[in-house]
Amino acid sequence: MDAKSILIWIAIGIIAGWLASVIVGGGGLIRYLLTGLLGAFVGGFIFKFAGINLDLGNAYVNEIVVAAIGAIVVVLIARVLS
């Protein structure tokens, strides 16, 4: 991994975490990042398991949407467990 791909990965995580916080509440830059990155893994797993293939016209937009949906799932599960 080079520096550019790591920065893109971090940016996608922050954006996805922010979108999840807008929908289900919460806040903070570190929380956005952690939730978004974890949500990317969860969302990727959910979409792959369900056989859903997003094609929104841009690979980055696809990744952000999948990560945001995964982040929402992560936040909702964390709220149920707490």
Tell me the pLDDT tens digit for each residue of 13-72: 889 988 988 898 877 888 888 888 899 899 999 999 999 988 888 989 999 999 999 999
Closest by CA position to 64, among listed 29, 20, 30, 23:
20
pLDDT at 73: 93
- CB 16 within 8 Å of CB 40: yes
pLDDT at 65: 92
pLDDT of residue 50: 93
Q: pTM for the complete prediction?
A: 0.86
Torsion sign (Cα): 66, 72, 9, 49 = negative
- Specify burial of residue 29 (Cβ count, 10 A radius: 0-12, 13-18, 19+): exposed
Q: What per-residue confidence (pLDDT) applies to 29?
A: 82
Give the closest residue to 73 by CA, choosing from 23, 39, 41, 27: 39
